[in-house]
Structure 1
Amino acid sequence: MNTKIEEIEAVLQKFYQLNQIPSHLADATTYSLMAGGKRIRPILFLNMLEAFGLQLSEAHFEVAATIEMIHTGSLIHDDLPAMDNDDYRRGKLTNHKKFDEATAILAGDALFLDPYYLLSNVALPAEIVVLLVKELAFASGSNGMVAGQILDMDGEGKSLQLAQIEAIHRLKTGRMLTFPFVASGLIAGKSVQEIEQLRKIGQKLGLAFQVRDDILDVTATFEEMGKTPGKDLLEEKSTYVAFLGLEGAKNQLSQLMSEVKSELSGLTNINLDYIYPFIEKLEL
């Protein structure tokens, strides 16, 4: 996995070393990109490709890098004073604290838009590239992550029902964790039916990941999380822990992860040795 992370980071650094990019913008983007993230989404995508029997190529690492760019851009914006107002991310000062608020906003903007330029130049068949662009935009924009974020903010200070909480996180967290499954299926030439199976698995893993995050918010330390713990409670967010209790949330996580592994085992022509160990690391 470390080799994959190194390859992803090499793509990211190469992109922002282009001479025409203003140096202070490149500094701000690379500061957050290289702040030590776990690279869960791009590694999941690469592992899925290997599970489908593909040998990883430069194009695959470039697609993986686009996922990390958008994810990191979302973290920069999430941490801004107008959003979650946090001082630390991945154990380091947040982007607006390291630089300034305007620079952080623009760095986030760059990380939302640059992935499509990178994606448009990958050495994959044009029809696959178009589908990847469509899926990445669907996962990250007004149909996905951004929509989930605004609904999450709307829910602060309110007592939401479980179905409402799930609806938020299917968008905010689920869509970006679904993209690695769908994208790998597209590149591997899977059928429409198989792609939809992968989409459902990704959505379920996305919910599980959010339950896990909610649990860690009340159980983990700053050193373990790399950000301020207990923020959800302070901001009166409706979380899985708030609704189900800590033990209930842990049971929900266990159930969702079991379902993810079960549904993965139902796929054809997949080597689960590339996926199960990685997914099991997401369990508590």
Structure 2
Amino acid sequence: MRDHFTQKAKKRIMNNLILHFILILSLNAFAQEVEILPCECCGNSELKKVSEFENIDISLYYSFDGSSSNWCTSYLKPGGIAPKNPTQDEIVKAYELDDPDIIEELEAQRRDFVNWSCKYSPLQLQADHNSAWVEGVEGSGAGEIVLTFLDIFKPIEIWAGYGKSPGLFSANNRPHNINVYVLQVDSSEDTENGKLFSGLTRVAVHQIALKDFNGFQDVDLDLPENLDRSKDYLIAIELIDVYAGRKYNDTCISVIRNK
């Protein structure tokens, strides 16, 4: 009886290992098809240290598809009903059946959910003026911070406000005075789909008054002459005050990019 029980236990363990292996393979294959991860509400409070300390012990992952939800202190949670997000069981079953139609449908559902969850996240700063990062705290968002990765040695421009339409631009808050922090990355590690940044050193800060119009405007940075050009750098924008929206008390930035 003991030998029979042992054989049954071994078989059960082996089956569990096989199922676990199938789960890992299925999720990895699925993740490769849908590269951007959902944004997990609603920000990274550690970024408040950017305005308080010269050196910040923090790790940030930058995906080549855009920044993720932890690149800001807050962002507005999207409204409405969330699209369906496929479960692990559904993904594994689809790959077990090897049904391309079901897999394609699940991939489409996943993309829709990702796009919805990241609707107002820092990911939108990498897109065009038809989308925006929107801070997500009570009030006008004074003190909220958002980061972006770009080449600080090239001209930079910003589209302040929600630029999708004149109506949305005037309905929402637009940044007026901002602090712009230039952050040197202490160490960078290339990954398959992006970069891992570890440690930040603040090398410059500028207060800039933005104009209130629906379009791009220059961000002029007076950089120290001795900056190491072999390093990566991030830009952090801190909201100080705003041009008030006629309908909503949410502050928006559509784009920050190199010209």
- The TM-score normalised by the length of structure 2 is 0.26
Higher strand share: 2
Q: State which structure, 1 or 2, has the greater radius of gyration over its C-alpha atoms.
A: 2
Higher helix share: 1
